[in-house]
Structure 1
Amino acid sequence: MELDQLKYPIGQFNCPEIITEDILNNWISEIQHFPEQIVAVTDGLSKEELHWKYRPYGWNIKQVVHHCADSHSNALIRFKLALTENNPTIKPYAEDVWAELIDGTDDDISYSLLILKGLHHKWHLLMVNMDEKDWEKTYFHPESNKSFTLKSVAGLYAWHCNHHLAHIKQALLHKNNF
């Protein structure tokens, strides 16, 4: 398997030009159900298995779980900023450095799973109560120097959920043979 396939097992996110109601509802559902899916795929993993990586020089399973809690916490906050401010500039963060902090390398993933459960509940509640005008609200990302609609961001994070679920499954499949 090529390194790019290992890095992007489901491919990179490509936002459709037209986001239909069905597409958006599917994304909302994927975000809603992510916590139960990540719990199912990590349930009962040993300490050794939590150290398995999905690709050479990639994160191990526990870092992926902790990263999802960090990333999705930021996503919820970015959603709320966009809903309450006019095209706010969001703050990027160094994901790779965060993944090396003690809470990103801790063998106990249960607290990150609890964070995901709670924040995805809040996020889902927010999304199912948004109207079309809300979905068109934006935030500005200084790293890409452009604004993103919340509608497109929902797609990005639905992809992000599936992307990291695939990473965990990949690590389990390869059993750290990288």
Structure 2
Amino acid sequence: MNPQELERLKYPIGQHHEQIKYTMEDVRSWIGDIAQFPQQITSLTESLTTDELNWLHRPDGWTIKQLVHHCADSHMNSFMRYKLALTEDTPKIKPYYEDRWAELPDGTMDEISDSLMIIAGIHRRWAVLLNTLSEEQLQRTFYHPEHRKETNLGTTTSMYSWHCKHHLAHIEQALAHKGSF
């Protein structure tokens, strides 16, 4: 497989481009993506067999089940970052090794219902929180030591809207290719 094809499989909707400038209409759209994600990922995965849950989304990529578990892990972390940014002055967040987390026993188990429940609960609360934020609150920041920069909550909302669509596309890709790469 050539490098361009591998890149397309890695980023089926394209890479995220940081949204420094945005409108409240943009934010409402991103919140909609975040709010709809639990239903979308559940619809894609709820009737999959164990074999299908173990399909890869690309060569050397994660399985469908790892993508589901990763979204639960990632979105729990993000939700906490919002809460920290809203209650502290530019808190330094804790990065984590998502690739290592994906290899832990709970990230490789075939049963995904617990992660789907986590996603549903986190996203319900996250959407409630996001829908109450003012333009001023969307400017609150956290410091990401791995990236060595401050990021505001509006920009982070854009990133997680993309993150939801990115991993839904990965699951769709695995299903379309029947996991064979």
Q: Which of the five TM-score ranges fits, normalised by the shorter chain?
A: over 0.9
1:44 aligns with 2:43: no
Equivalence for 1:116: 119
Number of residue pairs matched by the alignment: 178
CA distance in 1, matches of 2:114, 2:20: 37
Residues 30-57 of structure 1, C-alpha deviations (whole Å, 9 max, x = no match) = 0011000000111200000000001000
CA distance in 2, matches of 1:17, 1:74: 22
Equivalence for 1:169: 172
Q: 1:103 aligns with which of 89, 93, 106?
A: 106
Give the Å deviation of 1:16: 3.2
Residues 58-113 of structure 1, C-alpha deviations (whole Å, 9 max, x = no match) = 00000000000000000000000000000000000000000011110010000000
Q: Which runs of 5+ in 1 are unaligned?
A: none
Q: 1:26 aligns with which of 29, 33, 40?
A: 29
Equivalence for 1:149: 152
Aligned partner of 2:178: which letter?
K
Identity %: 52
Q: Secondary structure at 1:2's aligned position in 2?
A: helix
CA distance in 2, matches of 1:18, 1:66: 31
Give the Å deviation of 1:132: 1.3
Decide whether the 8 Å contact of 2:55 with 2:174 is kept in 1: yes
Q: Which runs of 5+ in 2 are unaligned?
A: none
Q: TM-score when scaled to structure 1?
A: 0.98
1:139 aligns with 2:157: no
1:8 aligns with 2:11: yes
Decide whether the 8 Å contact of 2:24 with 2:135 is kept in 1: no
Q: TM-score when scaled to structure 2?
A: 0.97
Give the Å deviation of 1:131: 1.0
CA distance in 2, matches of 1:103, 1:177: 24
Equivalence for 1:68: 71
Instruction: Provide the alpha-carbon RMSD of the alignment.
Output: 0.8
Give the Å deviation of 1:139: 0.3
Aligned partner of 1:104: which letter?
G
1:54 aligns with 2:57: yes
Give the Å deviation of 1:17: 3.7
CA distance in 2, matches of 1:8, 1:20: 25
Decide whether the 8 Å contact of 2:19 with 2:158 is kept in 1: no
